[in-house]
Chains A and B, each alone.
Chain A
Amino acid sequence: MPESRVLVVDNDDSRAQAIAACLQFIDYSPVTVDSVQSIKLGEHKPQDWLAVMVGGVADWNELGGFVSWLKRDRYHPPVLMLPPNHEKAVGALELDRSACLPVDYPVKYAQLNELLRRAGLVRMDQQAATVRVAGPSGNSVAVRRVKRLIEQVASHDTTVLVTGESGTGKEVVARAVHEHSHRRDKPFVAVNCGAIPADLLESELFGHEKGAFTGAITTRRGRFEMADGGTLFLDEIGDMSLPMQVKILRALQERTYERVGSNRSQRCDVRIIAATHRNLEQAIVKGTFREDLFYRLNVFPIEMPPLRERLDDLPLLIDDLIVSLEKNGHGTVALAPASVETLRTYHWPGNVRELSNLVERLAVLHPRAVVQPGDLPSRYRGGVQATAVVELAPIANETPVPGLDSVMPARKTVGESVLPPDGVNLKDHIENIELALIKQALAQSNGVVAHAAKLLNTRRTTLVEKLRKYGLTRELASDPEATSTEA
């Protein structure tokens, strides 16, 4: 529920005000209009509202035009129709019933609250997907090994235990196993055992019967049931309480479970993939994790390497994250090669999640720009001085600066770049370096763009973009002679 605004369209002013008061009471921000005509569509996007509530309609054609505009966004907010217009709206507005829902008037708080809660969850799921990349991305030895393990285990129904530091992409591994398995057409259901309070986790996993506890006003399916036929991903299983571990162990061993408040056992057909950032063997010694559960889970372990051990993957990961943001309409950004080089010197304690947060931040703060090293938060610039590329296009008029060596841990083997006394145009300098490297890579690969892209550890499409940027045509790139002349 990241958006709090709810649009109320109603030509009955007193009803609109009553609905607005209800919405404020349940912590939403109502925006009321008497007709969609008063909404300047050029100043809005459909995602500006969590939901659109429609009451009295004076002109259905106008409303139809507005709904057509909404539908241009496939993730548009749901339309909640007040009586008596629901059936008419489904037909007239050509909306799917899942996107056009009836809502009672006078408003029933519980009904409205639940409709908006669900709309919020859908929105959160969509947004979480925009910052999630398929993968694991990368070509490093460590990632190639993980990919091989995924292929090996996917087709078997073996339980998998994914380990690795926080943010390394354990869920990405779990999703990849699911996508390569025969269960791929069934649900993949993830649950973060560490984020859910212990007293809620049992009903969340196994479901509950109506009246099982205070607040259980309806029967509810648990995540085991939701994942039936598919894969259940138990994230942060190392944070699970001991009593809950017993229940999970039983579900794994006997393939049955009971909803909270029920005596009836239910069969479960789910593949379990568990993950944790904790050292479970140490937890066993400490007595916080059951040894029998560990061996039940640790049938096929996959360890996701930390990002600092696969920095070669950084360019590809950044590309994938940017593509994901673009694809989902969340803006775009580009990182100058020098910025990527700078990021390679950082130790990435938060791993890929930290990189994803950084790329998203840069896309918001520097939309459509090329991010230079100076634009990065300072913690990422700690090792900015040493780069491997500087010797390839040295700045003219290099003059040693006394004492600089003491503060610049430059790698002598790859050369140094020294700032001239009267400064340098950093952007032009970096672009010259990039251009020189691209030309060399093309020359070395006889002008074959795909091979040059490999040498530069970047994607072919990215390189094609750069060729266009620097005015090197593809014909030129594929013509070894012309390329070498250029170089």
Chain B
Amino acid sequence: MDKLRTLLIDDNKGFVVLAKHLLASVAEVDVIGCGYDGFDAVRMAEELRPDLIIIDLAMPGMGGLQATRLIKAQDSPPRVIIASHYDDASHREHAAGAGADGFVNKQEFEHRIPELVRGFVPGVTHA
């Protein structure tokens, strides 16, 4: 099975370590890099051409929403899941408006992310 080459982007380094650990048990995912703000995300998306980026919504300088808009304008853009400390209708709408393919509440990351990620595996139908 082809794994989804995945980038993790979050200014909270503790969360990056935790997310990487949690994703280690998701067979469909191969974490190929980590970054700490939206600028890292745009640069690494261009350089590494990942299949998937899981990106924090709020980061210094450039947050996940702007980074998503910029990444979606690159060649063969990856899927983007926005992770947020807040989970309400407005945050989800902003994520969708930026062109994100998914949204995950950070507090439910462990339980929600495997299902979300599996929706992006080639051959699996997703919206």
Contacts and interface: CB of A to CB of B under 8 A. Distances in A.
Contacts of A26: 85
Contact of B58 (A2, A197, A201): A2
Contact of A124 (B42, B60, B65, B89): B65
Interface in A348-380: 350, 353-354, 356-358, 360-361, 364, 377-379
A50 B57 CA distance: 13
B60 A192 contact: no
Contacts of A29: 11-12, 60
A4 B11 contact: yes
B90 A200 contact: no
B64 interface: yes
B75 A378 contact: yes
A5 interface: yes
Contacts of A197: 92
A195 B70 contact: no
Contacts of B34: none
A192 B97 contact: yes
A269 interface: no
A272 interface: no
Nearest to B39: A364
Nearest to A196: B89
A294 interface: no
Contacts of B57: 1-2
A377 B85 CA distance: 33
A128 B60 contact: no
A1 B86 contact: yes
Contacts of A4: 11-12, 56, 58-60, 63
Interface string B82-98: 00111011111111110
Interface string B28-67: 0000000000000010000000000000111111111110
Interface residues of B, number: 38
Most buried by B among A29, A131, A196, A364: A364
A192 B95 CA distance: 11
Most buried by A among B70, B73, B86: B73
A225 interface: no
Interface string A112-143: 00000100110010011001000000000000
A355 to B, nearest CB: 9
Contacts of A305: none
A28 interface: yes
B93 A2 contact: no
Nearest to B38: A2
A357 B66 CA distance: 9
B72 interface: yes
Nearest to B70: A361
Interface in B72-119: 72-76, 84-86, 88-97, 99, 103, 106
Contact of B99 (A191, A194, A353, A378): A353
Contacts of B20: none
B97 to A, nearest CB: 6
25 contacts: A1-B84, A1-B91, A2-B59, A3-B59, A3-B60, A5-B60, A29-B12, A48-B61, A121-B91, A124-B91, A127-B66, A128-B94, A191-B93, A192-B97, A196-B89, A200-B88, A204-B89, A350-B99, A354-B73, A357-B99, A360-B73, A361-B69, A361-B73, A361-B74, A378-B75
Query: Ordered nearest first, which 9 A-B pairs have the shortest CB separation?
Result: A2-B63, A195-B96, A27-B85, A357-B73, A4-B58, A361-B73, A1-B58, A358-B73, A361-B70
Given A357-B72, A360-B69, A377-B74, 10 more contacts: A1-B84, A3-B58, A27-B106, A124-B94, A127-B65, A194-B96, A197-B92, A200-B89, A357-B99, A361-B74
